[in-house]
Amino acid sequence: ANDMAPKVGRLQHLVLTAIKDAGPSGRTTNEVAELLDIDRGSIQPRTSELKAFGFIEDSRLRRLNANGKKAIVWIAVRGTTNG
């Protein structure tokens, strides 16, 4: 374990695992929320935190959400561990 790595909370861990499990296809915030059956409002801040930690990144792909808006497709950064 890398002592310099940020500590990942329970919800961050769930979000990171959901994104990692999607592989190169990635997942949008809404897709993660639906998969985990957790409100999107609880998931969105976790994706921002995981991005800031360097665990996930914008794949540059976009998928339409249920509301018709284009959403970032998040992918795990190579070599990321689950903290």
| pLDDT tens per residue across span 7-29 | 779 999 999 999 999 999 999 99
Q: What confidence tens digit (pLDDT) does each residue in 26-60 have?
A: 999 999 999 999 999 999 999 999 999 999 999 99
Q: How far is 37 from 44, CA to CA, in rounded Å?
A: 13
Main-chain dihedrals φ then ψ at residue 12, nearest 5 degrees: -60, -40
Residue 5's pLDDT is: 55
Percent of the chain with pLDDT over 70: 88
Which sign does the torsion angle of CA 47, 39, 21, 70 carry? negative
pLDDT band at 66 (very low <50, low <70, confident <90, very high): confident
Mean pLDDT computed over every residue of the chain: 90
